[in-house]
Structure 1
Amino acid sequence: MPKKEDDRGALTKYTGSLVRRAQQRHVAVWLAEVSAEITSVQYAALEILHETPGVNQRQLGDQLDVDRSTIADLVARMVRNGLIERSDDPVDKRSYVLFLTGAGKKQLLMLRPRVDEVERILTTRLTSKECVELRRLLSALLPESEG
């Protein structure tokens, strides 16, 4: 039976395995430091709606890189939880425009320092330059339109 170190070494040669393990660590740190109720995708939606209030549901889904059914579920959940409000798009009646509610703005302000702490924890062993390089390399893994 191979040693555990050998197994771990074999897995570190695969980018996908490392990305998956890094994502698992991110989720664990997120749950410990930020919230079990607000996911990192929901937090990203709050940030996008803060920066660009009134975007439509499709635009929000595009910015979050999620499909139509996922964004519909995400928006419905956030509306139900009182974080965002949805109204008919005045330009396209088949679409909704989205805004943060007062509770959503308050939640965003409360979560920001916690999200910063997640970033600090995840990158604590990296220099500032290495953090920039890591983001550049991870972005390079994404399809052209996202990077």
Structure 2
Amino acid sequence: MRSTFTGSLVRRAQQRHVAVWLTEVSAEITSVQYAALEILQKTPGVNQRRLGDELDVDRSTIADLVARMVRNGLIERSDDPVDKRSYVLFLTAAGKKQLAILRPRVEEVERILTARLTARECLELRRLLSALLPQQT
């Protein structure tokens, strides 16, 4: 008998998401990297710390993520003109192209994962999952 504890269900749902992501989107670009591309599209020049806050990842994780995305030519990093201890980030042309290619695939992941839910149930699921997360400050 499978566990019906919330944590177990969330873990299994996340495993399904990863499997569908790898099949439909990319084995090279993770969902977190994709989210970073989306954020940088909407807010070019955001600093690295703010990007980490938006993604809800710690400092070392965002530093590694940014370094990997810079190495892969998806984003560029330059000194923050306001705070020389910080970096500001921008999508490269390759990053913009990759985002355009991946966006419909990510939308397909969303359709696959929520195929058995009504539109109202999708909204309720997002609301409930958000309620499980710590309050943003």
Q: TM-score range by the shorter chain?
A: over 0.9
Aligned length: 137
Match of 2:63 in 1: 72
CA distance in 2, matches of 1:142, 1:66: 13
Larger radius of gyration: 1
1:28 matches 2:6: no
Match of 1:3 in 2: none
Deviations 1:36-71 (CA, angstroms, capped at 9, x unpaired) = 000000000000000000000000000000000000
Match of 2:53 in 1: 62
Partner-residue secondary structure (3-state), 2:46: coil
CA distance in 2, matches of 1:144, 1:95: 26
Structure 2 unaligned blocks of 5 or more:
none
| Structural mapping, 1:1-147, within 5 Å | 7-8=1-2, 11-12=3-4, 14-145=5-136
Query: Cα RMSD over matched residues?
Result: 0.7
Deviations 1:4-41 (CA, angstroms, capped at 9, x unpaired) = xxx21xx01x1000000000000000000000000000
Counterpart residue identity of residue 66, structure 2: V
Partner-residue secondary structure (3-state), 2:73: coil
Deviations 1:51-110 (CA, angstroms, capped at 9, x unpaired) = 000000000000000000000000000000000000000000000000000000000000
CA distance in 2, matches of 1:53, 1:39: 20
Partner-residue secondary structure (3-state), 2:26: coil
Q: CA deviation at 1:144?
A: 1.2
Q: CA deviation at 1:145?
A: 1.1
Structure 1 unaligned blocks of 5 or more:
1-6
Moved over 3 A (4+): none
Partner-residue secondary structure (3-state), 1:99: strand
CA distance in 2, matches of 1:31, 1:145: 29
Identity %: 86
* TM-score for the superposition, normalised by structure 2: 0.99
* TM-score for the superposition, normalised by structure 1: 0.92
